A and B are shown apart, each in its own frame.
Chain A
């Protein structure tokens, strides 16, 4: 299974969902497939899941989807027990586990290339609906089920290492520009101001 193929299945399903991405391939490929203003392209390691939790708690009326990676989750494992106990029902976490640190130039194994099972760790932390999918059909079914239900889901997607993110056009969206795009989108769709203070 290739991550980009999974994201191609997800992109047309996005209506008013908010999507928070991790770094590198997750960010580049998602930004290539979706220019939705509800995208928050966090793009740093070990931070997207936390930010996504905050967004989900801040807007319990909105579905939030976090697109994470194995290396990024491994860097912020403290997120797992916190996520389990906060238990936001409107949050779907997709962890694309390619078993490597795969930036723009490197390919080095992560712990999941060895003995580590992220879904099992998530269940151990108390996330009840933590599963692993290994093919595109399984991904589609798990995604359909997650979207149909209002409950916290943690879906580890076992994918092959791929270099799509090195070959496609990389977004030039600046973090500050992305923040305002996201915040103004929320202001339009939620009908209220987000930031305070005088301009």
Chain B
């Protein structure tokens, strides 16, 4: 992802009130990590599994933190159980920031990711997680604001799924 887009993404999260991010690193959106790390308005929590990115994020959200969970799309497979058993069952507002590897718009798509990418959208549907797929930065800040407003209205996780220009 271009540096300018990463800067806008992080600024958009901040503007929307996000103040805590749990994450397992991946490549496509990784330019956001040093920006998050160097901004004292974010608490950045590295985890060993996307499953606990959800549980830790949910616990923090129940104390009033505004939580984003940053993961590769394969992390959705890993975190299905905690998304259902904690985030959805309790009704916890969480913003999923998902790098959509293996999508048709993934600019670095390859044989490793293409099959994994196939199941991302049906899985989010099955989990009943409201989702916005972004292929460019035209409405980036607005999409983040809309998603955060929606997660608070629903008291549930919502997903922003990044592909296209975000995967260059």
Contact = CB atoms under 8 A, between A and B. Distances in A.
Contact of B49 (A44, A78, A176): A78
A154 B100 CA distance: 37
Contacts of B17: 196
Interface in B42-69: 43, 45-49, 51-52, 54-66
A186 interface: yes
B63 A194 contact: yes
B12 interface: no
Given A51-B59, A59-B63, A78-B51, A195 B86 contact: no
B116 interface: no
A54 B60 contact: yes
Interface stretch (A7-15, A80-88, A101-109, A133-141): A80-88
B46 A51 contact: no
Nearest to A193: B64
B108 interface: no
Contact of A51 (B56, B64, B152): B56
A44 B89 contact: yes
Range of interface residues on chain B?
A: 35 or more
Nearest to A196: B152
B150 to A, nearest CB: 9
A52 interface: yes
Interface residues of A, number: 39
A40 B52 contact: no
Contacts of A56: 59
Given A186-B64, A197-B149, A53 B59 contact: yes
Nearest to A80: B48
A57 interface: yes
A55 interface: yes
Contact of B48 (A78, A182, A196): A78
A6 to B, nearest CB: 23
A58 B152 contact: no
Interface in A17-45: 20, 40, 42, 44
B43 A44 contact: no
12 contacts: A46-B82, A57-B60, A58-B63, A76-B49, A82-B48, A82-B56, A86-B45, A175-B90, A176-B90, A194-B63, A195-B152, A197-B155
